[in-house]
Amino acid sequence: FTNQATQVNAWDSILLKNGEKIVELNKAVEKVKTDQSAMEKELEFIAAQHTELEESIIPLEQELSKMPQQI
């Protein structure tokens, strides 16, 4: 009986430790998720900037393509 009690105590301590580790792991995963979302937003921003930049390049290209014919 004592042996069984010891066993149950040992399990208790393992479960408790694992539980703590899981809580920590969960926090880490949540942090990574938040960071990932932030990066995805940043990427969307970069994509928008690229589109904007391209849109401002197009008229420059058009203007310049006319030039040699004017001279």
Q: Is 9 helix (H, G, I), strand (E, B) or coil?
A: helix
Assess 48 for contact with its own copies (CB under 8 A).
no
Q: What is the CA radius of gyration of the chain?
A: 31
Structure tokens at 19: 């539980």
Q: How many Cβ atoms sit within 10 Å of the Cβ of residue 26?
A: 10
Assess 60 for contact with its own copies (CB under 8 A).
yes
* Residues lying near its own copies in the complex (CB under 8 A): 7-8, 11, 14-15, 18-19, 21-22, 25-26, 28-29, 32-33, 35-36, 39-40, 42-43, 46-47, 49-50, 53-54, 56-57, 60-61, 63-64, 67, 70-71
